[in-house]
Each structure stands twice: as structure tokens, then as C-alpha cells.
Amino acid sequence: MTKLLALLAIFAALFCAPLVIGSEFWLNTVLLALYAALLGQAWNILGGYGGQFSFGHALFFGVGAYSVAVLQVELGLSAWLGLVVGGALAAVVAVIVGFLTARYGLRGSYFALVTLAFAEVFRILSNSVSWTGAGEGILIPLDQRLAALQFPDTASAYWALWAITLACFLAVWRLERSRFGARLMAVRDNEDAAAAIGVDAMQVKLGAMALSGLFMGLAGVFYAQKFLYLDPAIAFGPEKSVEALLVPIVGGIGTLFGPLLGAFALHGVAEIARETMGDAPGLNMIVYGTILVCMVLFLPRGLAGLGKHVRRAFRA
Amino acid sequence: MATRMNRRGFLGTTAATAGVLAAPGILRAQAETVKVGLVHPVTGALAYSGNQCREGALMAIEDINAAGGIKSLGGAMLEGLVADSQSKPEVGAAETAKAIEGGAAGIVAGYASSITLATSQEAAKTNTPHIVDVGVSDKIVGRDLPNVFRLGPGYGKIAAFAVDNLVAINEGAGSPAKSVMIIHEESAFGTGTAGLLAEKLPEKGFEVLDVIKHANPTRDFTNIALQVKAAQPDIIIPAQYYNEYVLFARTLRQQRIEMQGIYSVLGGAASSFKFVEEFPEAAAYIMDCNHWYNPLSEEALRRRAAAEEKGLYYTYEVYLAYNAVALLADAMEQAGSADKEAVIEALAASTWDGHAMPYGPTKFVDGQNEGGQPVNTQVLDGKIEVILPPDFASAEAVFPMPKG
């Protein structure tokens, strides 16, 4: 219950961000951090709680993003329908990928490589068919009304993202306390032992894939509606997959608050590096990279593990 | 002891007092600075081009300030707010918002089409004038965004121009070429250009043997070169970014592929001094349909010399970004104000001809400068010469290219 209260308190504070942050730029920075937290938590469901390290989560992101874009541009349907279809379709694709990998017993690095390959296949496909705009990309017409699921200002975009992210974090909080979550973590810790006590590993993995895919797909829908342009590299490129896994790795894999900590730490470090390094191109990236390496080296359990270190130090 | 003030002391004190009293007046009289946001991908995959854009834009600011700033604003100096989009559209949008918040009266961005779409849309939220420096996608203009203006041509116009001139060059040589093969990179510019060419060339009697798309980055073109060798096209048409173009052109030479000509459309390296200097054999006789400065303009040659003095190659990024800033400054000059609405109005009515490009005075329709056009260049004797249109030509086309 303490965790839930802490989570709700953090999200209540985050809700107020547009009311207290006067600067459009800094609100946008918080928005991008929250968006990274959503990507990270979506990955964390499968990678952190399920132990299935995916290198191709951009696949689900891209499916969600292209669904909402294609439904609007090619079929003239409502973006709100696209929101539902985007999330659902991403979950379905995740289940299919999960079924194929589980069916052939692909775990660890094999699972990681197969997910990477699936994302790449979708990138090439979206580059080849005309209804995705192929290499030219797809442009959603500007119509800044909520009826078109577009955002007249940064604050409304922020609150829409906040709602999706809160839903994702609440789902993970529930997951931690559910039987499904216990089974998922049992499969993560020792799949054979879990199977021996009657856990259906495939069913559990598929459930985690669906949930992870759903939120990744919703993140894709948000991206498409915020920036209104997609191309295959943006939607299915490896950058999105890396962003999704980097956030929980830095923040703390398999923890509720890890992705949030990781996202804000990474964006904070990036902004500080940029502000302090001036205009010299790339210098901020060197500082950012160095800090990142140090964080991974000295905080192998991520920032969420830092609390344990501190408590232990106080007890000693 | 009494203190006496002598004449020198009196004059000194009076001058100092007058100076102190007059200072606020002088400060008030000084024109304010006008800020311009320069959002380019100076890190990431597009870093080379992004840095070239930034340098070009800063050169323009330097020149405008050296010439007395915006005169109708009392000599207001321009100040560039440089920003890095990191080759990502979402970062480009965030940096645009930051520049506008930092007081930018206009934005010049963002090299790649995908980034430009995001930056222009962000600027539209605050009705901030946005000048597109390089992005060639036809989707950038004509979106009912009144703040977006592009001086150079989009790929629709470039492809049409390229086809017409290819026909003219071929007919001028007795129509020896019958077939082409198109090799293009996979993003918006390569795909869009290749699609238009594949549609238009058959209408002009050319057989398109194949259209090959490749990923970015691609570091080995042997397989594609072998496909070209097997198909034996008369003309190869590449539409690629710089690195891929260089590697592809070198591989064609290494594989000793015989053809009548390489005719690029927006070839990343074909009109690049760097490529010609570093790989003269691979570059020889390559034709390109691309952005180019007016080689007969003294102002263009002066800018080129100034860029080279700074150690820059005078690439299309440099002069397009330079002109984007200069166009914005001219609009402020005409408007007599840095007010966003007034500048947009001035841009829409602009008849600016100080670009030193082969365009004529500007005339914007839905944000696109109607006079913007590419030229055809060819690498001849280690130099990049303009071969078409005739009004701007500095040499005659050599086609088919000599064998061996």
C-alpha cells in the first residue's frame, strides 16, 4: 500500500507539472522524460519482471504508431479508434512473436536476437508497401483538436501522456501483487522449476508480451499524434528499442519505480550536459556517455538499488 | 586645506559627468538584438551536413551584422541561437520550442525532411516564421502552415527538371542512351525522388531496368554494383546521401562497370568539392541535378571564397542555410519589424534576389518559392561545372562519358 501511495503521490506531482512549469521547453523536457518512462516500463514488464530481454520493442511501438496513422490517412477513420486499434494490434503482434519464440524454446540472447529481427522485418516491410508511405513516410494532417486526438498545446499533450503512463505504472503495481505476476517472476527466476510446480510458462510469457506490447503500442500512438510524422526508421528503428531498455537498466530492472528514475535521470543528465557543454557539437554526448557508463558500472542494480546501498551504509 | 579645481580637472570632470548622464540615452538608442533559432542535426547520423548548415547560417549572420544589421530596425544585430536536433525529429521539435522561448523571432531548420516537418510544426504553434534550409520533401510545404517558407526546390520539381534535362542531354548526343537503373537510399528523399523518376522516365522513352533501394548506412555496394553490371544499363541514376554515394561510385569504378553516364539526382556527393578532391577518378564525368549556386554571380563566388577561407567545403548545405537566414533577415528588413505576423506577411510578399542562386526574385506560393530550381552539374577536369540551364552554364556537357 505504501508503494501505491508513493506512486500516486509522484503522479499527482507530475500531473501538476504544466501548472507550475512556466517554460514550454522545460515542460517539453519533462514530457519527453515521462514518455521515456512509459517506453521503459513497457519494456520492464517483459524484460524486468519476465526476464525476457527484448532488443526489438520498437516493433510494438511501430505497430501502434503506424496503426493510428494509417487508419486516419488511408482510411479516414477517427484517431480515437486508432488509439484502440494501435494498442490492441501491438498486443496481438506481441502475442504472435511471443508464441513463435516460446514455441521454439528461444530464450536469453536468442530471444533478444529474434525480437531484433522481427523489428527489422517490419521496418523493411513498412519501407516497401505504399499504404505506409514507404520510405517517404506518412504525414498526419495537422488538426489540433482533441476530437482528432491532437493536442493544441504542450500541456494537453503532457496530460494525455500522463494518463497512459499512469495506467502503465498502475498495471505494473497490480502485476507485482497478482498471481500472474508471481508466476511471471517464477518463470523469470527459473523456468524449469516454475513449470515443475505447475506454472504454464508459455501462457505467462504470452500474457506479459501482450501487456508489454499494449503499452508500447500506446506509446507509439502518442508519438504519432504528437509529432504527426512517421517513417520506417522512426517507427521500427533500433533507437526506440535501445531507449526502451536503457531506461530500466539505468533506473532498476524489475522494479516499479526504476523506469521512472531512469527516465528522469537520463534526461536530466542529458540536459545538464547540454547546458554546461555549450554549443560544441557532440561534447555533451561524450559527457552523457561517460556518466552513463559510470552509472552502469557502479550501480549495477540501477538507481532503484541505490536506496538499498544507502540504507545498508546507515546500518553499518 | 582648500581644494582648487584647475581647468583640466574641470573639463575632465564635466566630460565624465556628461558621459555618465548620456549613457542611458546611448544605450536606449542602440538597436535591440534580433534572435534567430538555428536548429540542425550537428550530432548523430547527419552530423556532417548539420554542421555545414550551422556554419552557413552563422556566416550569413556574420555578413549581415558586418553590413550594419537590419537597417529598418535601427541596425539591429542578428544573434543565432544554435541548437542540436541530434538527427531526431522529436529533439528538433523540442529545440525549436526552446529557441522560440529564448526569444527567437524566426527559425531556420532542420536539414532532413523528417526533422523539418517536426520543427516547422512546432514553430507553427506560435506562428513563428520558419525557413526551410534544405529539406526537399514535397510534404513540407503546402500543409496550410502559413509560417513555413522554402527558398529551394522540392524533389517533385527537381525530379521533373532532372528528367527533362536528361532527355535534352541525351538528344543532344544523338540519343545513344535507352535504359537506366535507379539506385536510391531508403528515406523520404531517396524514395520520393526514385519514385518520381521511375514514373516519368518511361514517358520519355527510357526503359527503367531496375530500381534498387538500400539501407542507411550501407558500407558495401559490391552486390548492388554486380546487379548493375549484370543489367548493363546505359545510365545509372543514384539518389543517395554523401557516404553511400562515395562508396557506390568507388565500387562502380573498382568493378570496371561500363556505362554511358552516371546521372545523379540530388546526389549526395556528385556536386561535392570534397568528393571531387578526394576521389577524382571516381568523380570524373559524373552529372548531377542538384542545388547549386549561380556560378556567374560575383556574390556567390565571394561567399564561396569566404567559406573556403574558414576551411569549409562550399556544399549545398552551406549556401542553402546561408540563404535561409538571409531571406529571413530581408523579410525583417522589409517588414521594418521583427514581429512574427509582420515577418510572415513580408515573406509571403517577398521579391528578394540577393540569394546568388539561379532562381530570380523570390515568389512564394503556399510557402514554396516558385523560382527555386536545381541545375545540372558535371565533373570535368577535376572541377564541378554547371552544364544546364544554359543561362547559368559554365561548360558544355560531355556525354556519353569517355571509356576507360
Q: Identify the band that residue B331 occupies on the pLDDT scale cut at 50, 70 and 90.
A: very high
Burial class (CB in 10 A: 0-12, 13-18, 19+), A5: exposed
A285/B139 Cβ within 8 A = no
In single-letter form, the type of residue at position B386 comes to V
Q: Identify the band that residue A107 occupies on the pLDDT scale cut at 50, 70 and 90.
A: confident
| A190 within domain boundaries | yes
Beta strands per DSSP E along chain A: 138-139, 229-230
* Domains along chain B with CATH numbers: 34-152+295-372 (3.40.50.2300), 156-290+376-392 (3.40.50.2300)
B contacts of A285 (beta carbons < 8 Å): 43, 86
pLDDT of residue A173: 97
For residue B110, give how far its alpha carbon lies from the nearest alpha carbon of chain A (Å). 15
Going from the C-alpha of A32 to that of each of A158, B84, B89, B325, B401, the distances in angstroms are: 9, 16, 12, 29, 53
Q: With a cut of 90, say whether residue B152 has pLDDT above it.
A: yes
- Picking from A23, A24, A229, the nearest residue to B114 by CB comes out as A229
| A301 within domain boundaries | no
Going from the C-alpha of A58 to that of each of B53, B238, B246, B313, the distances in angstroms are: 30, 30, 31, 37
pLDDT of residue A254: 94
A282/B139 Cβ within 8 A = no
- DSSP string for residues in B115-175: HHHHHHHHHHHTT--EEESS---TTSSSSS-TTEEESSPPHHHHHHHHHHHHHHHHHHTTS
Average pLDDT over residues A225-248: 92
Residues of B with CB under 8 A from a CB of A: 42-43, 47, 50-51, 54, 82, 84, 86, 88-90, 93-94, 97-98, 100-102, 113-114, 117-118, 121, 124-125, 137, 139, 143-145, 186-188, 190-192, 195, 213, 216
ipTM strictly over 0.90?
A: no
A127/B188 Cβ within 8 A = no
pLDDT of residue A305: 80
For residue B90, give how far its alpha carbon lies from the nearest alpha carbon of chain A (Å). 7
- Picking from A135, A139, A233, the nearest residue to B190 by CB comes out as A135
Residues of A with CB under 8 A from a CB of B: 23-25, 28-29, 32, 127, 134-137, 139, 141-142, 153-154, 223, 226-229, 231-234, 239, 274, 279, 281-282, 284-285
Q: Identify the band that residue B285 occupies on the pLDDT scale cut at 50, 70 and 90.
A: very high
Give the residue numbers spanning the domain of A221.
23-249
Q: Are A54 and A43 in contact (CB under 8 A)?
A: yes
| A287 within domain boundaries | no
Q: Are B86 and B43 in contact (CB under 8 A)?
A: yes
A279/B82 Cβ within 8 A = yes
Spell out the residues 6+ positions from residue A5 whose beta carbon is closer than 8 angstroms to its own. none
pLDDT of residue B130: 98
Backbone phi, psi, residue B30, to 5°:
-65, 135
Strand partners, B180: B208, B235
| A4 within domain boundaries | no
Q: With a cut of 70, say whether residue A316 has pLDDT above it.
A: no
pLDDT of residue B162: 94
pLDDT of residue B6: 54
B232 vs A312, higher pLDDT: B232
pLDDT for A188-219, tens place per residue? 999 999 999 999 999 999 999 999 999 999 99
Number of domains in chain A: 1
A142/B144 Cβ within 8 A = yes
| A124 within domain boundaries | yes
CA B221 to chain centre: 27
pLDDT for B162-208, tens place per residue? 999 999 999 999 999 999 999 998 887 788 889 999 999 999 999 99
Backbone phi, psi, residue A262, to 5°:
-60, -45
DSSP 8-state symbol, B76? B
Mean pLDDT, all residues of chain A: 91
pLDDT for B90-124, tens place per residue? 889 989 999 999 999 999 998 998 899 999 999 99
Q: With a cut of 80, say whether residue A141 has pLDDT above it.
A: yes
B188/A231 Cβ within 8 A = yes
β-pairing, B104-109 vs B364-365, is unpaired
Q: Give the span between the Cα atoms of B81 and B61, in whole angstroms.
A: 11
A contacts of B124 (beta carbons < 8 Å): 142
pLDDT of residue B22: 46
Beta strands per DSSP E along B129-285: 130-132, 148-150, 179-185, 207-214, 235-239, 261-265
Average pLDDT over residues B20-32: 49
| A242 within domain boundaries | yes
CA B283 to chain centre: 21
For residue A142, give how far its alpha carbon lies from the nearest alpha carbon of chain B (Å). 8
Q: Does pTM top 0.80 for this prediction?
A: yes
Q: Give the span between the Cα atoms of A109 and A241, in whole angstroms.
A: 15
Q: Give the span between the Cα atoms of A147 and A152, in whole angstroms.
A: 11
pLDDT of residue B90: 86
B39, B43, B45, B48 alpha-carbon torsion, rounded to 10°:
80
Q: With a cut of 80, say whether residue A59 has pLDDT above it.
A: yes
Q: Give the span between the Cα atoms of B131 and B99, in whole angstroms.
A: 14
B contacts of A279 (beta carbons < 8 Å): 82
pLDDT for A153-184, tens place per residue? 889 999 999 999 999 999 999 999 999 999 99
Count the Cβ atoms, other than its own, within 10 Å of residue A177: 12
| A315 within domain boundaries | no
B contacts of A231 (beta carbons < 8 Å): 114, 187-188
Count the Cβ atoms, other than its own, within 10 Å of residue B38: 31
Q: How many CB pairs under 8 A join A and B?
A: 88
Q: With a cut of 70, say whether residue B292 has pLDDT above it.
A: yes
CA proximity to B213, closest of B193, B233, B232:
B193
Sign of CA dihedral B225, B212, B200, B366: negative
- Picking from B42, B94, B191, the nearest residue to A135 by CB comes out as B191
Backbone phi, psi, residue A150, to 5°:
-115, 165
Q: Give the span between the Cα atoms of B57 and B53, in whole angstroms.
A: 6
Q: What angle do CA B217, B221, B226 make, to 5 degrees?
A: 155
